[in-house]
Amino acid sequence: MQFPKRLQLANLPTPITKLERFPLHGSGAQIWVKRDELTGTEVSGNKIRKLEFSLAEALEQGCNTVITCGGLQSNHCRSTAILCSRLGLKVHLILRGEKPEQPGGNLLLDLLAGAEITYVLEQDWATHEDLARKLQADYAASGNKAFFIPIGASDEIGLWGYIAACKELKEDFEQLGMIPDYIVTATGSGGTQGGLLVGSKLFDLPGKVIAFNVCDDAAYFEKKIHEDVTLWQRRYKIDVDFQKKDINTIEGYVGPGYGLASKEVFSTIAELARTDGLFLDPVYTGKAFHGMVTEILKGKEGCMPDAVNVLFIHTGGLFGVFPQQQYFSFA
């Protein structure tokens, strides 16, 4: 398959490791982890895979500025800010929430990387794309050219990140002699989930792709991913047998809301760190991993009946742990 222009930014391929001690209470399932938190250090996680394609397009178009958006602790915005610094591009972030007195986690790294930040209150967030277009016009008026990347780099360009990852997964499975029954990921903007769905078809991967939403609901992701894949097919003229019924988003694990986790999620994060030395975050991976384990333990009543081998895509997010350290209990 011919991929579009791509920057070599991530440390690839990432390894797959087997969980040896995390308790699954006789379920018979084995969890494997695709270690995409190891795609970098300061730019760790899934976003860099997508940004390899998005930023290549920005440079191809002759842009000297990148505008993108997300939450205050956005992994995507942190990755974009650092990569733009590396590439000599100006970056302007539109972040949802009030400017904190003391920045921490991803936000601190955004600022250290030199990002210009516009804060937008929660009640005004619906207008963030209008603001991005205005900023593009303002940059153009001053003789600059700004490239807009949507939340999570989740669009028809960003889909390539995890389409390419599926080629890597095919090689992983062959080397390990492992056939997954399920491939599991967190989903917050749909790009990773959509890329896995398309890539699994293009590279004929075994295993059903399942995503645990960390915000919104299944209907939102069905619509969003279908739109992104449709645009991808039109833009790149690639035929793939993709239907809405292929989109499997498991609800029930969002908890109090986006960026907010239940005490059970914090407990699961701490338990995995103790048993296997793997660190999840309370925004994305913690919720998805907790949901996956809960569903496995339901047996035939869960969404992964008779699971033997389950692959969890670790999409990173370590820096998001620190701003929520007060919610962990070490008693």
Dump pLDDT digits (tens) for 50-70: 999 999 999 999 999 999 999
Q: Are the CB atoms for 118 and 155 separated by under 8 Å?
A: no
Q: Tokens in use for 4?
A: 């579009």
User: Other CB atoms closer than 10 Å to residue 19's CB: what's the count?
Assistant: 18
Mean pLDDT of 122-130: 96
Of the pLDDT bands very low, low, confident and very high (cuts 50, 70, 90), residue 187 is very high
Rounded Cα–Cα distance for residues 215 and 188 (Å): 6
Of the pLDDT bands very low, low, confident and very high (cuts 50, 70, 90), residue 330 is confident
Rounded Cα–Cα distance for residues 94 and 70 (Å): 7
Phi, psi of 262 (to 5 degrees): -80, 165
Buried b (16+ CB within 10 A) or exposed e, 276-304: bebbbbbbbbbbbbbbbbbbbbeeeebbb
Sheet containing 116-120: give its strands across. 116-120, 90-96, 65-71, 146-149
297-324 pLDDT per residue, tens: 999 999 999 899 999 999 999 998 998 9
Single out the residue of 123, 103, 128, 121 nearest to residue 113, CA to CA.
103
**In the CATH scheme, what architecture does the domain 47-153 have?**
3-Layer(aba) Sandwich (3.40)
The pLDDT of residue 147:
99
Give the range among 23-27, 74-78, 166-170 with minimum mean pLDDT: 23-27
Rounded Cα–Cα distance for residues 315 and 48 (Å): 10
Mean pLDDT of 184-210: 98
249-269 pLDDT per residue, tens: 999 999 999 988 999 999 999
Mean pLDDT score of the chain = 96
At CA 205, angle to CA 298 and CA 277, rounded to 5?
55
Rounded Cα–Cα distance for residues 54 and 7 (Å): 9
Mean pLDDT of 74-87: 98
pLDDT at 331 > cutoff 80: no
What is the dihedral sign for C-alpha 198, 199, 201, 202? positive
Q: Is 262 a catalytic residue?
A: no
Q: Tokens in use for 10?
A: 């991530």
Single out the residue of 174, 169, 198 nearest to residue 311, CA to CA.
169
Percent of the chain scoring above 90 in pLDDT = 94
Rounded Cα–Cα distance for residues 268 and 19 (Å): 14
Of the pLDDT bands very low, low, confident and very high (cuts 50, 70, 90), residue 26 is confident
Buried b (16+ CB within 10 A) or exposed e, 220-237: ebbebbbebbeebeeeee
User: Other CB atoms closer than 10 Å to residue 257's CB: what's the count?
Assistant: 9
Single out the residue of 186, 173, 207, 251 nearest to residue 36, CA to CA.
186
Q: Tokens in use for 38?
A: 């190891």
Q: Which of 74, 79, 154, 200 is catalytic?
A: 74
Outline which parts of the chain fall under CATH 3.40.50.1100.
16-45+155-327, 47-153
Mean pLDDT of 124-129: 96
Which class in CATH covers the domain with range 16-45+155-327? Answer: alpha beta
Q: Are the CB atoms for 67 and 94 separated by under 8 Å?
A: yes
